[in-house]
Amino acid sequence: MKLPFFQKYDFIIVPGIGNSGETHWQSKWENFLPNAYRISVSDWDRPDLKEWESALGELLGGLGNNRKKIIIAHSLGCLLVHHYFFENQIHQNYVASILLVAPPNPKSSVFPSQAVEFSKLTRIRLVPPSLILASENDPYAEISFSEQLAFDWGAEFKNIGKKGHVNSESNLGMWFGGITNLILFLWRL
């Protein structure tokens, strides 16, 4: 069942390192949401900031302006989205909102060494309305980091409890709690 409310949007799925496998909530949402598209990169295990930015830009530009875009990013994908909009303002007027789930702390000891290009964080606010959902026990970011990041980026912040890194290992399935947060956020815009 696809909700009519979602028909007016294009959904851009932006995974992190390793992509999001079939049991990951992003993949479930991609199959559930109408007009859902995932960025495509050559190697999900060796992130290349310029290539990933280009992939996001090509997807945003290729979809046209018929529907507003909602970006749904997870983990390293969150940092990619911020880097993209810091460097490229061209598509931000077509983006209705950005959902950022479990952004990692680049200063954390467990931040992937192969993602060092993504590690420069700025305090530049995102222009599209944004929501950060963060877990209390995410090994890649303390909840205080995520809350400060939301403040720095001008995003709303929601603590979603203990959900780990909000990935396949969290066993969230379709993650209806995440969809509910997205719907409530969109209704407030």
Residue 123's pLDDT is 86
- Mean pLDDT computed over every residue of the chain: 94
Strands 9-14 and 68-74 turn out to be parallel
Model pTM score: 0.96
Question: What number is the average pLDDT over the span 119-147?
Answer: 95
Indicate if the pLDDT at residue 50 is higher than 90: yes
25: number of Cβ within 10 Å: 25
Percent of the chain having pLDDT more than 90?
84
State the Cα–Cα distance between residues 64 and 37, nearest whole angstrom.
13
Return the higher-pLDDT residue of 7 and 16: 16
State the Cα–Cα distance between residues 11 and 183, nearest whole angstrom.
13
Indicate if the pLDDT at residue 87 is higher than 90: no
State the Cα–Cα distance between residues 34 and 51, nearest whole angstrom.
26
Amino acid at 166: V
Question: What number is the average pLDDT over the span 53-66?
Answer: 93
Assign domain 9-188 to its CATH superfamily: Alpha/Beta hydrolase fold, catalytic domain (3.40.50.1820)
pLDDT of 22-31, one tens digit each? Answer: 999 999 999 9
